[in-house]
Amino acid sequence: MERLADLSDEELASRAATGERDHLEVLLGRHFNAIHGICHRVLSNNEDALDATQEALIAISRSISRFDGKARFTTWMYRVATNAAIDEARKRNRRPVPVDELPVISNKDPVDGLANQIIVDAALGQLPPEYRAAVVLRDLIGCDYAEIAEILEIPPGTVRSRIARGRAALADLLDETTTIPRDVKNVAARGNQTAPAARQTR
């Protein structure tokens, strides 16, 4: 007997496109956390992230028949989720947290992972949505440059520019507002370093 959980994303998507709702439900359930994760890191606001996640799930459900299998399903899904998050950011037009309102944590204070994440999320929230999306996809989701270009539907050179500018801005924000340990700033710090040759070709 066929186990839906054993099917690939592409197989599930193909079957979901024919109207098999159980396949669609398995597919959405499999990737719910990833979709919400992208929305949350782009929006830096839990309420907005939940709204964007809901919109992304609806968009995927409605347009699953347009997934042609030429790209990986996750690439297509990331595009839908990122667009939903950027649209939500523009629609809400929320006021970014001012620099002087960001949390300030001393190296002498005990800092756990959650506190660090709150700080980085708050700083991410001050970046323009386009830069934010590029940095999130590269440094937090782990997509390569070609995949980000496909997700955002922009040239690879623009991807590199947005990531570099986003990292540099994020590093400046973290340096100005916190003295948290260097390892917490490592994602942003990469914006001021030369990427290894092996990664430059990606």
pLDDT range class, residue 93, cuts 50, 70, 90 = low
Alpha carbon of residue 137 to chain centroid: 5
Domain limits, the chain: 7-94, 97-202
Which fold would CATH assign to domain 97-202?
Answer: Arc Repressor Mutant, subunit A (1.10.10)
Give the span between the Cα atoms of 140 and 170, in whole angstroms: 13
**Percent residues over pLDDT 70 in the chain:** 74
Mean pLDDT to the nearest integer, 104-133: 68
Is the separation of the CB atoms in 166 and 135 below 8 Å? yes
Tokens at 21, concatenated: 């709702």
- Measured distance CA(80)–CA(70) in Å, rounded: 16
Average pLDDT over residues 32-37: 94
Model-wide pTM > 0.75: no
- What fold does the segment set 7-94 form as a domain? Rna Polymerase Sigma Factor; Chain: A (1.10.1740)
Contacts of 196 (CB under 8 A, 6+ apart): none
Give the residue from 52, 53, 202, 62 showing the smallest Cα distance to 142. Answer: 202
- How many other CB atoms are there within 10 angstroms of residue 74's CB atom? 17
What distance in Å separates the CA atoms of residue 190 and residue 165, rounded to the nearest whole number?
11
| Helices marked H in 18-45 | 21-43
